[in-house]
Amino acid sequence: MKDNILSGLTVGIIALPLSMALAIATGVPPQLGLYTAIIAGIFAAVFGSSKVNISGPTAAFIVILIPIVQEFGITGLLLCGLLSGVILVLVGVFKLGNLIELVPYPVTVGFTSGIAVVIATIQIKDFFGLHIENFSGTYIDKIILLFNSFSTFNIYEFLTASVTLFLLIIWRKTKSKLPAALVALGVVALFVAFFNSQYGLNISTINSTFTYNINGLQGNGIPPIPLQFSLPWEFLKPHEINLDLLIKLLPHAVAIAILGALESLLCAVISDAMTGNKTDPNKELIGQGITNMVVPFFGGIPATAAIARTVANINSGGTTKLSSIVHSIFILASILFIAPIISYLPMAALSALLLMVAWNMSEVKHFINILKTAPRDDIYVLLTCFSLTVLIDMEVAVAVGIALASILFIKRIIDLYSIELVSENLESHPDMPKDILIYDINGPMFFGAAQKALKTLVNINEQKNIVILNMKNVSMLDMTAMVALKSIIDSFEAKNKKLIFAGLNQRVLQKLQRAKFDYVTTFSSIEDAINYSKKYKVKEMKA
């Protein structure tokens, strides 16, 4: 119990500034990130399957949440989070969690690396202290805005961010148990507070950037009050909540659900490998879904399991769900008792923290390894997902990536399929008539492979009257293959030829029987089919 309390406190220290930084990067006030961490840490732990996963706001969500905030505002974001929670619960209830694991590795690395690039690009503004009033638009638009705004470069903001980044990198190499974020941000915040008060440098902080007005209480920075229950649609007029709005939000909600599921299950795989536990993917998704259904009622943004915080929890000795709950309680206590202090964290320092997050999630080593060693098709998928994530958005990237990977997978399966003439080399039956052909079919027969077989068999020499298909190595037939086979049979009958099936496994044979192929001659082995063909030829010659 003691180890879990200490690990919860450690993760809470890490999650405190990170949750605020992620909320700010998304385009919402920092306290919403804190509210998310509090609710997610408790509800995901209680209702999920993993004992050690720590849930909360994550960097992966930034790319898909920013457009929602810009188009629909915070209210639209809360509604999207609520809808995504419903979707995740349904995915878990219908036991579709295992399907998420079928997303190809190049797709995952592609959009993850793309997200990291976008996050890093967004942080350039605060890292260099650039003055940009409306930092929106496409990725290219943002690059142009950054380039055109470098005349507003602020050396003090840049030095603040650079020192923070330096401390984050150096402190990790000391292998100290104190979190690097606590040391780096704490030291830099003290220096910034001193120089701002003594020399009037006006280095931006949470306190100077954000204001709040909650139930008549106004102020700057983080509001020092506990979570407030409110309806996610509270600021919408009754006529604005309609089916049309939900339809517009649904694609965004689906994207949040897909990414949340991928992130949480990937986190579960990593934590299971480290601890030896076994996470139920469907129960974990139900827990994440319930979390995202509850979070919006307290002003929180979408949440999922966070890999970095989970690994920190395990390394700190966390073994039970208590550590996640303690981490949430620590963040809540920080809001209540030290909100004015954490409000003095510099914006530039938080941008440096997110740059580190972006680097850690960039999968640089895996990205380069795929480029060096993977088949060309996988490289195409990787680069497509990466480019679309950066230049358009993650929703398009994942959809196109999965579609492209599926097409390439089908192509590979078709390439594995073969239909080979073997009767000319059949030494065991030297007396076999010359007009009997035997073909070996290897691999699954589905729409692509079926057409290959159709072309081969239809073009058989007119003088060959009997064709035996050895289908011992055919593992499956789909409807297209059965239609193709029916077409071949009809073609043979029209030419007064005979087609014989041999070596069918029970499952394939049952499929043919259900499809009314009872009139086709079939044998359990190629030997029986050959012997039958010889006798058939003898009868034919006597006739």
**Which pLDDT score, from 0 to 100, does residue 427 have?**
60
Residue 442, strand partner residues: 418, 473
| Residue with token string 């606590």 | 182
Residue type, 218: Q
**Which pLDDT score, from 0 to 100, does residue 541 have?**
45
What φ, ψ does residue 214 adopt, rounded to 5°?
Answer: -120, 115
Residue (of 185, 192, 193, 145) closest to 168 by Cα position: 185
Q: What is the DSSP string of 130-141?
A: ---S---S-HHH
Retrieve residue 198's tokens: 């003594």
Euclidean distance between CA atoms 76 and 395, whole angstroms: 17
With vertex at residue 195, the alpha carbon angle to CA 189 and CA 200, rounded to the nearest 5 degrees, is 125
Euclidean distance between CA atoms 500 and 497, whole angstroms: 10
498-502 sheet: strands from edge to edge = 418-421, 436-442, 466-473, 498-502, 521-523
Question: Over its length of 543 residues, how does the chain's per-residue pLDDT go in tens digits?
Answer: 888 999 999 999 999 999 999 999 999 999 999 999 999 999 999 999 999 999 999 998 998 999 999 999 999 999 999 999 999 999 999 998 877 767 788 888 888 899 999 999 999 999 999 998 888 888 999 999 999 999 999 999 999 999 999 999 999 888 888 889 999 999 999 999 999 999 989 999 999 999 998 877 889 999 999 888 988 887 676 657 788 888 999 999 999 998 899 899 889 988 998 898 899 999 999 999 999 999 999 999 999 999 889 999 998 899 999 999 999 999 999 999 999 999 999 999 999 999 999 998 888 998 999 999 988 888 988 999 899 999 988 778 878 887 887 788 777 777 777 778 776 566 656 666 677 788 888 888 776 666 666 677 766 666 667 888 888 888 888 888 888 888 888 877 777 788 888 888 888 888 888 887 766 788 888 888 888 877 765 555 444
CB contact set of 109 (below 8 Å; sequence gap of 6+): 363, 366, 367, 370, 382, 385
Euclidean distance between CA atoms 64 and 119, whole angstroms: 11
Residue 276's Cβ-side half-sphere holds a number of Cα atoms within 13 Å equal to: 1
| Residue with token string 């509001």 | 223
- 498 in helix, strand or coil? strand
CB 197 within 8 A of CB 32: no
Residue type, 136: S
**Which pLDDT score, from 0 to 100, does residue 426 have?**
60
Residue (of 429, 446, 451) closest to 438 by Cα position: 429
**Which pLDDT score, from 0 to 100, does residue 454 have?**
67
CB atoms near residue 455 (< 10 Å): 11
348's enclosing H/E stretch is helix 347-361
| Residue with token string 């994550």 | 58
**Which pLDDT score, from 0 to 100, does residue 276 have?**
87
Q: Could you give all domains of the chain from N- to C-terminal order, each with its CATH number?
A: 2-408 (no CATH), 418-542 (3.30.750.24)
Instruction: Please report, for residues 22, 31, 318, 331, the alpha-carbon distance to residue 10 in angstroms, rounded to integers and kept in the order given.
Output: 19, 20, 10, 11
Retrieve residue 369's tokens: 């390894």
Q: Are strands 211-214 and 217-220 parallel, antiparallel or unpaired?
A: antiparallel
**Which pLDDT score, from 0 to 100, does residue 463 have?**
63
Residue (of 523, 472, 525) closest to 498 by Cα position: 523
CB 226 within 8 A of CB 336: yes
Orientation angle between helical segments 105-127 and 155-173, nearest 10 degrees? 130
Retrieve residue 464's tokens: 């060959």
